[in-house]
Chains A and B, each alone.
Chain A
Amino acid sequence: MTLRDKAAVVGVGATRYYKRGQSLPQTPFEMAGKATLAALDDAGLTVDDVDGFALYSFGLGGDTSLFAQVLGVPEVRFTAQLTGGGGGAAGSVGLAAAAIASGMAECVVSLMTLQQVANRFGTSYAPKKKGQPRGQYSAPSTPEGNFIQPSGLVGPGQMFAVLAQRHMYLYGTKREHFAEIAISTRENARRRETALMRDELTLDDYFNARMIAEPLCLYDFCLECDGAVAVVTTTAERAHDLRHPPVYVRASAHGGHGRWGQAITWMGMPDDEFASSGHRPVAKRLYEMAGCGPEDIDVALLYDHFSPMVLMQLEDYGFCAIGEGGPFVESGAIRWPTGSLPVNTHGGNLSEAYIIGMTHVKEAVEQIRGTAVNQVEGAELALATGGPASIPTSGLILAKEPYS
Chain B
Amino acid sequence: MTAMPSVCGAQVVESFLDAHRAHDVERMVELCDENARFRSVPFEISRRQRVVRGSGHVSTIGKLLWTGLINAFPDLTNEVTGIISGKDGQVAAEVVISGTQAQDWVPVRSRGRSFRSPHLLVFHVNELGKIDNITSYSDDAAVRQQLGAAELD
Chains A and B are bound partners = no
Give the interface of B toward A (CB within 8 A): none
Binding site for B on A (CB under 8 A): none
